[in-house]
Amino acid sequence: MEKKIQLYNSISRQKEEFKPIHDTHVGMYVCGPTVYSDVHLGNCRTFISFDIIFRYLKFIGYKVRYVRNITDVGHLLDDGEDRILKGARLQQLEPMEVVQKYTNGFHAMMRIFNTEEPSIEPRATGHIVEQIEMVQQIIDNGYAYEANGSVYFDTLKFAQSTGEYGKLSGRVIEELVAESRDNLKNQDEKRHPSDFAIWMKAAPEHIMKWNSPWSIGFPGWHLECSAMSTKYLGTHFDIHGGGNDLKFPHHENEIAQNIGSCGCHPAKYWLHTNMLLLNGKKMSKSDGNTISPLELFSGDSVHISQGYSPMVVKFFMLQAHYSAPLDLTDEGLQAAEKGFKRLMEASKILSKLQGLNAGKGSLDEEMIGLADAALTEMSDDFSTPKALAKLFELVPKINSLGDGKLSLNDVSDTALDHVRQSFHGLIFDVFGLKDEQAGENNAVDGLMNLILSIRQKARANKDWPTSDEIRDGLKAAGIVVKDSKDGSSWTYE
Ligand code: AMP
Ligand code: ZN
């Protein structure tokens, strides 16, 4: 399959052909969740988007190492309190209990949305040694200084000597000064207000702290991603992702740390997902403009008229490009529910179609063209909405072939196989959608086949008590088994 992907170069802001650093192997790092509360739908949108990018790269033949971290220390709130420690204080739990609880919840939600696990999921607290080493390298290179046991990145010196600070977010140092709120409490220790802490000295009552050459303390939030991406993907890798709220200061500071420690730009491409909105406004817990994934699935929210299944929600998200804002509305979800059903029905019909087994059909060219166009759209900066639009152009053709409005003599089986590869490949392997009802039915069918084959063996061995026990047990569960000379079948009572 063709591997010509077009991506935006985030520094030059030009679209260009994606060329992996190591030919067929792609390294991708995505900033993972800070695990101090339940994952919200905005987070889900970002992680679903990168899951699809991960899957598409594999689909077209790349080997991908996908690293997505768990932030379990150092991500401070505006008032300077560590998010994990706040979670622990409010819930009266050990910090690591908080981390485990919300990591488990995050994983469960990712499974509900049928996303794949990343190749490596490192935790910040498991990489304190690497972070301390990186702080030392940055100090040795003259881009960081110690003050009262904390270590600060010298942004002014870095900006003046490398010209690199602010390029990703497109800001100049004066703006950065005005916006920098990092570690407000210790502004007097910094040489310049936009300097940021890469190691923080811990107060005596602080729980999560480690020994270091400078103090007993903890690493700055930005540092973990620099240290862990370098450890698992090398000093220069292909793709770095995250939500666009992380461009500044998090990603800008990551770049500064990587260049400051080893002189290398960490990533060739930076991909940023845009924010999920609710009824046109930023989702926010404080003004009630929020909805949790579980409320969305159950319909238990003032913002929606009914519940929507996880696959409908995912399909809804795919209708917008990852880099565009997406507004979650009841009407949008209702339309998505209809669209998703149509897509699943067409995919079932497509599986069963049988065309000419020799020669060409008059519909071949058009159908192959649409299937290929869907892949071309995905290769253009992973445009899920445009790829879906091409698949939806195929839907009426598939339906008409299914109900006889178009003749199966006008399409060859080779062409249908080609269409199936893109259509099913994109829907199931790349987008990770699944027909929820079919899944349930398949599971019941599979279980019943297994149970009846065990009963059949018992009957062949004249083990009547086991055979009867299975039949009676199934009856109690509302399933009737009928025996005939051809074997056993079942129905719901
Ligand atoms: P956090 O747990 O806050 O560190 O966020 C985890 C990821 O979700 C980051 O990549 C954020 O940029 C992203 N994110 C946070 N809020 C939203 C939102 N409303 N829409 C899309 N992505 C978001
Ligand atoms: Zn990060």
pLDDT in tens, 341-384: 999 999 999 999 999 989 999 999 999 999 999 999 999 999 99
Token pair belonging to 120: 């490596």
Residue 129 DSSP SS3:
helix
Among 29, 31, 46, residue to substitute to test ligand 1 (most atoms within 8 Å of Cβ): 46
Residue whose CA is at the smallest distance from ligand 1 atom 14: 43
| Angle between helices 364-379 and 413-424 in degrees, nearest 10 | 20
| Distance separating alpha carbons of residues 24 and 138, to the nearest angstrom | 32
pTM: 0.88
What's the pLDDT score for residue 104?
96
What's the pLDDT score for residue 347?
97
CB 152 within 8 A of CB 198: yes
End-to-end Cα, the chain, rounded Å: 50
| Distance separating alpha carbons of residues 277 and 241, to the nearest angstrom | 20
What's the pLDDT score for residue 138?
98
What's the pLDDT score for residue 183?
45
Cis check: omega of the bond before 385, within 30 degrees of 0: no
* 238 Cα to the center of ligand 2, angstroms: 15
Protein residues near ligand 2, an ion, with CB under 5 A = 31, 225
| Angle between helices 221-233 and 128-140 in degrees, nearest 10 | 100
What's the pLDDT score for residue 445?
76
Shortest-distance atom of ligand 1 to CA 242: 10
Q: Taking the CB of residue 113, how many other CB atoms lie within 10 A of it? A: 19
Please tell me if the CB atom of residue 34 comes closer than 6 angstroms to any atom of ligand 1.
Answer: yes
| Distance separating alpha carbons of residues 199 and 218, to the nearest angstrom | 6
Please tell me if the CB atom of residue 41 comes closer than 6 angstroms to any atom of ligand 1.
Answer: no
What's the pLDDT score for residue 179?
53
Report the residue count for the chain. 493
Instruction: Round the CA-based radius of gyration of the chain to a whole number and report it.
Output: 27
7 Cβ contact partners less than 8 Å away, ≥ 6 residues apart: 15, 16, 17, 18, 269, 271, 381
What's the pLDDT score for residue 444?
79
Please tell me if the CB atom of residue 168 comes closer than 6 angstroms to any atom of ligand 1.
Answer: no
**Residues of the chain scoring pLDDT < 70:** 1-3, 173-186, 285-286, 439-442, 486
What's the pLDDT score for residue 85?
85
H/E element, 28: strand 25-30
What's the pLDDT score for residue 76?
81
Residue whose CA is at the smallest distance from ligand 1 atom 17: 42
Whole-number percent of the chain with pLDDT over 70: 95
What's the pLDDT score for residue 293?
94
Give the ligand at the shortest distance from the Cα of 37: 1
